[in-house]
């Protein structure tokens, strides 16, 4: 079995290295390991501008933005615009 692909990418949002994988590529990698992809969600669609440095935040505003982010991340065309995604699968 091949190791997970290691496609290099820039440092982003949290200062962490990223990878340039697609939903389809990771879905195939999961299938090869006996995991059936079930759903995927866009992440950081509207909130990549948030200051995560520990500055005080308005919790009510954060909850409103998170609710919009969650709904948009579930639906096309919005989720396809996200630079980050979560892919959920189930071991078969």
pLDDT, tens digit, 9 for 90 and up, residues 18-77 = 777 899 999 999 999 999 999 999 988 887 766 667 777 788 988 898 899 999 999 999
Neighbour tally for 40: CB within 10 Å: 20
- Contact partners, residue 47, CB within 8 Å, separation at least 6: 65, 66, 69
Decide: helix, strand or coil at residue 43.
Answer: strand
Q: pTM for the whole thing?
A: 0.68
Are 54 and 23 in contact by the 8 Å Cβ rule? The answer is no
Phi and psi at 66, nearest 5°, equal -65, -40
């Amino acid at each position: 079995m091949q190791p997970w692909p290691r496609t290099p990418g820039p440092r982003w949002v949290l200062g962490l290295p990223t990878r340039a994988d697609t939903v389809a590529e990771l879905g195939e990698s999961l299938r090869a390991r006996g995991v059936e992809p079930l759903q995927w969600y866009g992440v950081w669609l509207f909130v990549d501008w948030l200051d995560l440095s520990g500055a005080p935040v308005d919790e009510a505003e954060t909850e409103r933005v998170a609710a919009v982010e969650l709904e948009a991340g579930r639906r096309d065309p919005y989720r396809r615009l996200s630079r980050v995604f979560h892919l959920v699968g189930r071991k078969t």
